Structure 1
Amino acid sequence: MVDVLVIGGGNAALCAALMAREAGASVLLLEAAPREWRGGNSQHTRNLRCMHDAPQDVLVDAYPEEEYWQDLLKVTGGLTDEKLARIAIRASSTCRGWMRQHGVHFQPPLSGALHVARTNAFFMGGGKALVNAYFRSAEALGVQIRYNAPVDAIELDGDRFVAARIGAERIEARACVLAAGGFESNREWLREAWGQVNGEWVAENFLIRGTRFNMGVLLKYMIDAGADAIGDPSQSHCVAIDARAPLYDGGICTRVDCVSLGVVVNRHARRFYDEGEDFWPKRYAIWGRLVAQQPGQIAYSIIDSKAIGRFMPPVFPGTKANTLAELARATGLDEKTFVDTIETYNRACRVGTFDHAVLDDCHTEGIQPAKTHWAQPLDKPPFYAYALRPGITFTYLGLKVDERSAVHFGGKPSPNLYVAGEMMAGNVLGKGYTAGVGMAIGTAFGRIAGTEAARAALQSKQNAKETTHAVA
């Protein structure tokens, strides 16, 4: 029998496996995906949001705990557990040394992106390099790893973990960490969560930015088995991505990052939200949900030539035209309405000192919705349009935890079953998102879950040994 069983193969699972192994426990990790697709959504990540009170290696200036907390509080609208959130925030300030010990490298601050370099540490080689480093370290430490191993059931004795099942196979362990992700790849569950509008399933037009293997099988099993759940099933890390992106695994390159530099219109050629509300890293994750609420779940990000070179270019080129009327025809939007929307916006712009690195004074007056920053007339051809669809990264429905990352049943923590990553992120993320916080939550609670699982397993083993000696 193994000491600690870890179910999942992303950042949180790997952090749990490494910590449990470092604590002296024998560890088996079960990854549902084949080896070439290992790593869950973590393979598509880029960075970790880090608290720091002074400049630290790849981080400039300071990003203190209270500012981090206020940023999180703002994007979640207060739907967050402050105690658990602050655990993740504080852990983000001290985890990079441990990450480096396991082969993770960080790149120097990005030039021209001061507000990002201040808050986020970027992985050299991105998330794929991070999970590969963790897998190499886990193998070197003696963690057993199995691929193509989708667990479909958990055997419980009350609130105690006994075994996991893969079909007819039964795998016992003294303690277990669940880190198998959300249900974003499960189209049927997404339809159920988002419902219908005007007789159409809202989720039918969703694209999945991340892994195709997160079907929510274990999450549903645990909820049905009586584990305490938390979160709204319709809430998720939902980003506006290029409508031409693949159904699964498009990752970061399908995101369209020019929203704050122009305007966004729906299929009726009308604006519907403030494109300049706040810095893009703090606001990019609300746009998927905004687009999901528009007719047909589609929208169009419109820019002119002044924006070129000021945002990370997406993988697909935008639709290009020399006039607004031509752009409307090329995108299938009503020409008269589209031109009127842009010209009305242009007249409303009050251009001050444009600076995309700060909350500048370029704003609109007299129109709704307003654009509160970076408002410039769209008047320099050629013009560009990017069709947008909602891109689901991960879902927020999860299992309720405490500071030890224990799964709860009827308000009582399990003595040997823990959860980390997307399966519990809803404790901190009731809604909304800010760049890099998912990796902060997964790293913090993955490490906690692994440590606690090892402690529970080794204590169980010691108790069994003492009982055997007493009987003898």
Structure 2
Amino acid sequence: MVDVLVIGGGNAALCAALMAREAGASVLLLEAAPREWRGGNSQHTRNLRCMHDAPQDVLVDAYPEEEYWQDLLKVTGGLTNEHLARLVIRESSTCRDWMRRHGVNFQPPLSGALHVARTNAFFMGGGKALVNAYYRSAEALGVQVRYNAPVDSLELDGGRFVAARIGGERIEARACVLAAGGFESNREWLREAWGQNERGEWPADNFLIRGTRFNMGVLLKFMLDAGADGIGDPSQSHCVAIDARAPLYDGGICTRIDCVSLGVVVNRDAERFYDEGEDFWPKRYAIWGRLTAMQPGQIAYSIIDAKAIGRFMPPVFPGVTADTLPELAEKLGLDPATFEQTVRQYNASCRVGKFDHTALDDCHTEGLTPAKTHWARPIDTAPFYGYALRPGITFTYLGLKVDDTAAVRFNDVPSDNLFVAGEMMAGNVLGKGYTAGVGMSIGTAFGRIAGTRAAAAARRQHSAGAFHEAA
């Protein structure tokens, strides 16, 4: 029997496994995916949002706790637990040295990501390199890792963990950390969560899955059915507007369309439906998937002109181009007359001051609904570009309720040996909305807490002398 069983294979799971092992516990990590697809959604990440009171290595200026909290409060609309959110924020200021000790390297942000140069620390080589570094470190420390090991149920005694089951196999442990992700790859559960809209459509049928195909929510559903306290709205998620040509699974960051704030977005009826310049893109990119999901056919189109080229991170697929607006409409399958009228009305309403995409500038619209409050410039310079958008689900926010010990709760009573981290509890901090890098902050903070607590729980069950010696 191992001391600590970690179920999951992404950032939160790996942080838990490493912390438990560093505390002297023997650790077994079960990853549902095969080795080549290990890492869950963490393999698609780029950075970690970090609090810091002064410039630090790759981070410029300062990003104090209160500003971080206000950013989170704004995007969640208050649907967040302030105590747990501030715990995550404070942990983000001290975790990077620990990450480096386990092989994670950081780099300054690329030019297309300068908006977050002050707030986010970028991983050298991206999330895949981070995941690989953690696995190397875990294995070097003696953590056992099993791939192709999807746990389908747990054996519980009241609120205590006894064993995990993979089919007919039973795996006992003195303590357990659940970090197996949300249900974003479970189409039936997404359909149930989103339901049918007033047009008779099932919006979830048109969702693409930005991340891993292995996050089916099996353990999340098991725990909720077993009476664990839940939190969050099943329809809320990290949902990004991505290229409609993206693959069904694992498209990752390169399928995101980042030019939204530089132009206009129209729906299938060639009409605008939201303020494209509401705030900086890293604070607003994750609302556009849900906005697109609410449109007819769950599709939208990001439209820019030649002036925007070079001002955003180019996506993996080139945009549809045309020398005239009617030609672009034809190529996108939009009604040319309506499209041209929408763009003409937008152009006429633009009040262009000093354009500055690095600031909340004074370029805005007047007399237009919805307004565009920043970066409003006429779309008038050929060639014109269009990108078809679909909702891209990264991870879901329905999860298990926790306190600052990361313990799973049953009727508000915390388990003494079952803990949870990552997507399976992110809804405590993210009731809705998103700001870049905060998912990794939550996973890192609660993964480290859960691993430490699980090792302590195992120690309580078993005398310290019986702990396996660290490798």
TM over 0.5: yes
Aligned partners of 1:222, 1:345: CA distance in 2, in Å? Answer: 50
- The one-letter code of the counterpart of 2:85 is A
State the SS of the aligned residue for 1:118: coil
1:177 alignment counterpart = 177
1:430 alignment counterpart = 431
Aligned partners of 1:463, 1:439: CA distance in 2, in Å? Answer: 32
How far 1:114 moved relative to its partner?
4.0
CA contact (8 A) 2:113 2:313 kept: no
1:340-391 alpha-carbon deviations (Å, 9 max, x no partner):
0000000000000000000000000000000000000000000000000000
Gaps of 5+ in 2: 467-471
1:317-337 alpha-carbon deviations (Å, 9 max, x no partner):
111000001001111101110
Aligned partners of 1:349, 1:215: CA distance in 2, in Å? Answer: 45
- The one-letter code of the counterpart of 1:255 is R
Aligned partners of 1:303, 1:13: CA distance in 2, in Å? Answer: 41
Aligned partners of 2:46, 2:188: CA distance in 1, in Å? Answer: 29
How far 1:110 moved relative to its partner?
3.2
2:200 alignment counterpart = 199
How far 1:108 moved relative to its partner?
2.0
**Alignment CA distance shift 1:464-1:223 (3 Å):** farther
CA contact (8 A) 2:304 2:386 kept: yes
State the SS of the aligned residue for 1:177: strand
2:469 alignment counterpart = none
1:365-424 alpha-carbon deviations (Å, 9 max, x no partner):
000000000000000000000000000000000000010000000000000000000000
Confirm whether residue 404 of structure 1 aligns to residue 405 of structure 2: yes
CA contact (8 A) 1:113 1:357 kept: no
1:355 alignment counterpart = 356
- The one-letter code of the counterpart of 2:39 is G
Aligned partners of 1:299, 1:313: CA distance in 2, in Å? Answer: 18
Aligned partners of 1:403, 1:76: CA distance in 2, in Å? Answer: 20
1:24 alignment counterpart = 24
CA contact (8 A) 1:236 1:395 kept: yes
For residues 127-166 of structure 1, what are the structure 2 equivalents within 5 Å? 127-166=127-166
CA RMSD of aligned residues (A): 1.0
How far 1:139 moved relative to its partner?
0.1
CA contact (8 A) 2:287 2:434 kept: yes
Identity %: 84
- The one-letter code of the counterpart of 1:287 is W
How far 1:199 moved relative to its partner?
1.9
Aligned partners of 1:298, 1:162: CA distance in 2, in Å? Answer: 46
Aligned partners of 1:359, 1:414: CA distance in 2, in Å? Answer: 47
How far 1:113 moved relative to its partner?
4.5
For residues 215-364 of structure 1, what are the structure 2 equivalents within 5 Å? 215-364=216-365
- The one-letter code of the counterpart of 2:138 is A
1:97 alignment counterpart = 97
Aligned partners of 2:457, 2:416: CA distance in 1, in Å? Answer: 7
Aligned partners of 1:385, 1:18: CA distance in 2, in Å? Answer: 45
How far 1:109 moved relative to its partner?
3.7
Greater Cα shift, 269-278 or 112-121: 112-121
- The one-letter code of the counterpart of 1:357 is T
- The one-letter code of the counterpart of 1:80 is T
CA contact (8 A) 2:112 2:312 kept: no
Aligned partners of 2:111, 2:230: CA distance in 1, in Å? Answer: 42
**Alignment CA distance shift 1:114-1:314 (3 Å):** closer
**Alignment CA distance shift 1:464-1:132 (3 Å):** closer
Number of residue pairs the alignment of both structures matches: 465
1:33 alignment counterpart = 33
Aligned partners of 2:383, 2:109: CA distance in 1, in Å? Answer: 32
- The one-letter code of the counterpart of 1:392 is I
How far 1:464 moved relative to its partner?
11
Aligned partners of 1:381, 1:308: CA distance in 2, in Å? Answer: 11
Aligned partners of 1:368, 1:395: CA distance in 2, in Å? Answer: 31
- The one-letter code of the counterpart of 2:50 is C
How far 1:130 moved relative to its partner?
0.2
State the SS of the aligned residue for 2:124: coil
Confirm whether residue 47 of structure 1 aligns to residue 47 of structure 2: yes
- The one-letter code of the counterpart of 1:176 is C
CA contact (8 A) 2:112 2:311 kept: no
